[in-house]
Structure 1
Amino acid sequence: MWLRSLVVALLSQLALAGTADAKGPFGSLKIGNWIGGAFSNDETGAFSHCAATSPYANGVILVVSQNSAGTWLLAFASPGYSFNKGENAAIDVTFDGQEQARLYATAYQPNMLTAVMPLNVVRTFQKASLMVATAGRTVLNFDLTSTGPVIAALANCVTRVKADGLDKAGDFTKGAAKPAMANDKQGALPAKPARTGTFTGTGFVASPNGHIVTNSHVIDSCTGDIKGNLAGEAAMVLRVVSSDATNDLALLQAPATASFKDFARIRDRSMHSGDSVVAIGFPLHGYLSSDLTVTTGIVSSLSGFRNHTGRLQISAAIQAGNSGGPLFDMSGQVAGVVVAKLNALRMIKETGQLTENINFAIKTGALRDFLDNSVVRYQTAEPKGELKAAEIAANARAYTMLISCIGTEQADAKR
């Protein structure tokens, strides 16, 4: 009975840092030794997350969760743990003796370490049979034979609760997508090979405490350390704080020893169609200049692809590697986060037309909500005066970073 009580308590605690404890479970999830369900925020009553947990013979309780924003979390808990709140730890995980990743965990409760799981790690966790977790001299083995349907059920839980509400929560194992299995039929087309290499993007320092904003898709494929560096300076290892796959935003943390001369301020007013903008980043790193690249354009539309109201359409040229970089107004305030460009080849196939200068940025409303939810002390500013693009670029040099990592990505994955 004590174990079940502890498990329920751990499930309710597994939410992002800074949130209140949760109530639940609502509905049910039971697969093998895994149990779980949906949970609500204790203060607001709103849906918080779906979580499942399983105890292991090594004395550790594994907890997996997806929150309402789409972020996946993995926690290691034990009644024997005694961490200081806010204590950090690097946990190296190896799946089936082959694929490896490093997770950066934080103790939000004294008996549990919680880490964000990038999507590529979630996919591996779902299909693997064995996970070996190493932290310092501690090595723990976890049987993952049931995690395929567990991940599918948790994703189903989040989708159903967001659509129907907590009061209609039921058995989340029903209607969950079956995990993909290897196709053993003769004549089946082979899967596209995974691409392994160095992945790069852009980020910017968004607080005086060294918080760095980028796109979640920039770090999704990372299996090794995520590094960041200002132009011409040495790289530092960054820690993942939070990630929002829905809005394609991620928050990284620089080491406590890092020092930045400045950080970005976020525009506190909406943009208008026709407003001039400046995009700054590190496109096609390794092929183009290793220095910051600056492009200019205008806000072409206040909505993105297929009328996405959380996006701006911009004409400033961007390429692979610009993702996660700041989009500035002409007063030098961040007016958006560069996120994507229209796929010209796809549009030729669908419309017969060659599209040019159709690119997109995440609006500051979504950015500010994300930072608020991540408890970041960012600053806003009114657009005052007008600077030249060269002046904006000179100022941005102090806080615009190249983000890089070693990773593995499916050939058809979006970047």
Structure 2
Amino acid sequence: MLPSLRPGLVIGTPVGTLARTDPHTGRSEPWEYAVWTSPWHRPAVPATEAVASWNARTPSGTWLRAELRARYGDGTRTPWFTMGCWASGDEDIRRTSVGGQGDGRASVHTDTLAVDDPAAGTRFAALRLRLTLHRRPGGGATPLVWRAGAMASCVPDRSGVPAEEPRLAGELVLPAYSQNVHTGRYPEYDGGGEAWCSPACSQMVVEYWGRRPDAGDLAWVDPAYGDPQVCHAARATYDHGYQGCGNWAFNTAYAASYPGLSAVVTRLGSMADLERLIAAGIPVIASLSFAQEELTGAGYGTAGHLMTVVGFSAAGDVVCHDPAAPDGAGVRRVYRRSQWAPLWLRTRRRGPEGRTLPGPGGVCYLVWPARATHAQRAALAAAGVR
């Protein structure tokens, strides 16, 4: 890929050297490092969840660690929680989330820092982000980070969300990639099929904005495979700790690693937010979970899935590029607005045997050009993305 020319955080003078043993390769190496820590930020409403995002480039011999710390309403603080050890490639470290993190009041679930018992009233009153940039000792290379932040939400307890009246009709033109044509490919990256919805969607949106991996990026893919760029996206988003390609922050970091693109994980509060972004030309990768009978035309149920919203029909129904199709020809789907909107916006649902399961609550990935239009900047600002 072409190097980024954006200004951002780099290693100037390292503050020290640390030894790290990669938990997935067992390889121990020393790394020079430098640290940037944000000020405390208070969300508009005390939060129950936070998800970090970063946009960066890590040339060979470099990587970064992203951490979050929260301050509770009573003034006490969490420890620093690792939200990702990340590199755009996988030659130096294995990209990974870190399991088993918690302080008895909050825990990290792969890409999300969440209050353990929201009903008890525990909230994050403020958050701060820390980035530690690493390079091999004596090397001149450095990570470059041009965007970093966190989405903080007080997730409401809602199972029924009425679909708002439609305000927009129209459709964006995106590539159509099926995850299922890759079933069984590259088990070291979770084997395609239902596991690759997130990178398939990320790749569709990257190419919508006119970027794509070059021949060198794809040289490792079996030439017999169609849509090799989806294989590349799966490798570039694979979380060796989670053992899957669905880490939200790793997908937005992948998208933003292409020149001139920015990306975040966020949460939209309404269909109006979604329509405003589509009207501005920004497709939205949305997280959903549902039983098969809840979404007519899907033909499957899922505990967690990503699909890309590309527009709305004249009747206001939701036009998606759903990678769960058997092949590219079936990726474009039109789902009933009255069904799709509540599935996306609800935060709890009834599962098998009457169990209460979480819902996505409007979570999505947004990818847009760094040189955004006025309409795009306005739509992002209205959705809370600054």
TM-score (norm 2): 0.29
Of Structure 1 and Structure 2, which has the larger fraction of its residues in strand? 1
Bigger radius of gyration, 1 or 2?
Answer: 1
Higher relative contact order structure (alpha carbons within 8 Å, sequence separation ≥ 6)? 2
